[in-house]
Amino acid sequence: MDIQEVIREQVTTNPVVLYMKGTPQFPQCGFSSAAVQILKGCGVSAVAAVNVLENDAIRQGIKEFSNWPTIPQLYIKGEFVGGSDIMREMFESGELQQLLVDAGAAKPAA
């Protein structure tokens, strides 16, 4: 299976996938840390996090897959959402929370 197929499988078999530097417990860059905090702020309990520092093929392949040059990258239900800046903007507008609720990855706000 080539790297594009691996990535396609990851983003389509998991409701929420975050390609990041490091892990949610130990992010290795500020942008990845911000992305994790935003998802926590949305109430996401389960995210498939892919540490791109562990696999150069995925690190380069995800940039080609999304046609987006930077990491982190968030996917919800197979759709590319964006990086940490876009996540922050969507979080502030409430759009990200709604996407995550619709995906079944977060509970609606009470």
Query: Which residue positions form the known binding site for [2Fe-2S] cluster?
Result: 29
For every residue of 46-85, DSSP letters joined together read --EEEEGGG-HHHHHHHHHHHT--SS-EEEETTEEEE-HH
| Binding-site residue set | 29
Query: Which pair of structure tokens corresponds to residue 8?
Result: 């396609």
